């Protein structure tokens, strides 16, 4: 199975189909084997980190008669030969040949194969990284206390929105999973400064340190994702608002709770200025969250769900823009304000999370990925500041950035 001199302390436990290789319906021939994009690069990344590699796969096709052990071994020999040609090897391949109805102890999400691998290769399952594209992969890892990563290749997209599953990280592919593992290992290394058997005070500091770094690194990885294709939407939103301001229209903003504070923050930056070195006039932005008399009167007389809708009706004009900020994207008072805005020919920009009702109702949706509400809220503020910066750049470019007529 590879070099005997390589003795890693930690292991990556990989699923096969939909994680390392392309998902094929009961793959039964070596000729069908196709590595997923970036998977070879990811395996090299894991090796550079000093990690061992184990493959654990459910192969109920054997129980169902789609292939036999001899065919499966040919497939796995071909897989290993392909890896060896890339300078890679696996410490082990572990297979469950049973069907879901057989009640065996080795079929994921049960842990017999992972525990066997840990015994044979001398690692602690809790210290491993379990990566797969199915709920059963994540649940197996959780059952032994491992760090779990769901990749959205294969079947991963179907379960990525399942909040009950709760993997430690969701990655678009194995390469992104490898970057998360590297970040996690940095946290582990930083904790080495604490005593191996700390007292109560050091134990508490160690726990807080680990949670703080995990949170900050998760936020940094989310920012990295935003720096990709998400930028197109941010630039489009800034241009839309800038054009509205240039045409004499204004921006209305609404949101609840922390998003209400965001509305006021953003309106203040636009009426005032974000960049203190840029001299410019005020921009007409109005947070619909600030007039306590209006808000309480509308909530008392007509119901809380009307507090923004009524203000949009009173203040909005055709050509204005409504920026609706909502992490959940399902607040009734936000959705009613959006419906009223559209009926009055206002354009609507939504700042929300992925696949929300609000995103579907907007002309342009800025959908921050992920499921951690705190991180989404933190990224909302980053997007809001970036919008203000780009709007200023759009309307008041510095001399060196001006385009000659």
Can you read off the two tokens belonging to residue 63?
């129980």
Whether residues 152 and 239 share a domain: the answer is no
CB distance 267 to 293 below 8 Å: no
Q: 304 in a domain, yes or no?
A: yes
Residue 401 DSSP symbol: G
CA distance linking residue 377 with residue 30, whole number of Å? 47
307 to 69, 223, 227, 311, 340: CA distances (angstroms): 66, 33, 35, 7, 12
CA distance linking residue 171 with residue 38, whole number of Å? 12
Q: What is the pLDDT of residue 403?
A: 46
Whether residues 184 and 267 share a domain: the answer is no
Element (H, E) at 279: none
Count other Cβ atoms within 10 Å, centred on residue 360. 11
CB distance 56 to 114 below 8 Å: yes
Whether residues 37 and 182 share a domain: the answer is yes
Can you read off the two tokens belonging to residue 294?
């209006």
Whether residues 255 and 367 share a domain: the answer is yes
Q: 392 in a domain, yes or no?
A: yes
Query: Which burial class, exposed, middle or buried, applies to 28 when counting CB atoms under 10 A from its CB (0-12, 13-18, 19+)?
Result: middle
Cis ω before 109 (30° cut-off from 0): yes
Q: 166 in a domain, yes or no?
A: yes
Count other Cβ atoms within 10 Å, centred on residue 179. 15
CB distance 167 to 138 below 8 Å: yes
Whether residues 327 and 180 share a domain: the answer is no
Q: 290 in a domain, yes or no?
A: yes
CB distance 263 to 253 below 8 Å: yes
The parent domain of residue 282 ranges over: 230-396
What CATH number should be reported for the domain holding residue 299? 3.40.50.10490
* Final residue of a structural domain among 142, 164, 193: 193
Whether residues 60 and 181 share a domain: the answer is yes
pTM of the model: 0.63
Count other Cβ atoms within 10 Å, centred on residue 269. 20
CB distance 391 to 242 below 8 Å: yes
CB distance 258 to 377 below 8 Å: yes
Give the pLDDT means over successive 10-residue stretches in the chain (405 positions).
57 96 88 94 96 95 90 94 95 94 94 96 94 94 93 78 74 92 82 58 72 78 79 96 98 97 97 86 97 97 97 98 97 98 98 94 93 89 96 83 46
Give a three-class secondary structure readout of 320-337: CEEEEECCCCCCHHHHHH
Q: How many domains does the chain have?
A: 2
Can you read off the two tokens belonging to residue 116?
């066997």
CA distance linking residue 326 with residue 335, whole number of Å? 10
Whether residues 151 and 272 share a domain: the answer is no
Whether residues 383 and 300 share a domain: the answer is yes
Whether residues 251 and 135 share a domain: the answer is no
């Amino acid at each position: 199975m590879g070099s005997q001199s390589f003795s890693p302390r930690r292991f990556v436990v990989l699923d096969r189909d939909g994680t390392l290789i392309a998902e094929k319906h009961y793959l039964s021939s070596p000729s069908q084997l196709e590595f997923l994009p970036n998977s070879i690069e990811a395996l090299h990344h894991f090796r550079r980190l000093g990690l061992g590699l184990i493959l654990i796969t459910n192969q109920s096709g054997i129980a169902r008669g789609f292939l036999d052990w001899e065919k499966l071994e040919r497939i796995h020999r071909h897989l290993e030969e392909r890896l060896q040609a890339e300078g890679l090897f696996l410490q082990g391949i572990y297979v469950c040949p049973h069907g879901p109805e057989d009640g065996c102890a080795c079929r994921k999400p049960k842990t017999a194969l992972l525990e066997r691998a840990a015994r044979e290769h001398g690692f602690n399952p809790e210290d491993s990284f379990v990566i797969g594209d199915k709920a059963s992969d994540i649940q197996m890892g959780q059952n032994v206390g491992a760090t779990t990563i769901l990749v959205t290749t294969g079947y991963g997209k179907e379960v990525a929105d399942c909040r009950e599953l709760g993997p430690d990280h969701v990655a678009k592919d194995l390469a992104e999973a490898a970057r998360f593992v590297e970040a996690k290992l940095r946290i582990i290394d930083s904790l080495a400064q604490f005593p191996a058997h700390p007292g109560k005070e050091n134990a508490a500091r160690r726990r807080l340190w680990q949670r703080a770094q995990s949170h900050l690194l998760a936020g940094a990885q989310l920012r990295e994702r935003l720096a990709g294709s998400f930028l197109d939407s941010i630039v489009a939103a800034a241009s839309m608002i800038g054009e509205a301001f240039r045409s004499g229209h204004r921006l209305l903003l609404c949101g609840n709770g922390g998003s209400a504070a965001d509305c006021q923050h953003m309106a203040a930056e636009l009426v005032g200025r974000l960049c203190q070195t840029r001299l410019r006039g005020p921009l007409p932005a109005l947070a619909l969250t600030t007039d306590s008399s209006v808000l309480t009167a509308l909530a008392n007389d007509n119901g809380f769900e009307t507090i923004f809708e009524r203000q949009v009706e009173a203040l909005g004009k055709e050509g204005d823009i409504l920026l609706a900020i909502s992490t959940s994207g399902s607040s009734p008072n936000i959705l009613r304000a959006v419906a009223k805005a559209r009926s009055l020919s206002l354009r609507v920009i939504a700042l929300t999370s992925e696949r929300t009702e609000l995103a579907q109702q907007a002309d342009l949706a800025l959908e921050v990925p992920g499921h951690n509400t705190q991180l989404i809220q933190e990224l909302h503020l980053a997007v809001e500041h970036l919008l203000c910066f780009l709007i200023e750049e759009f309307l008041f470019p510095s001399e060196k950035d001006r385009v000659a007529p």
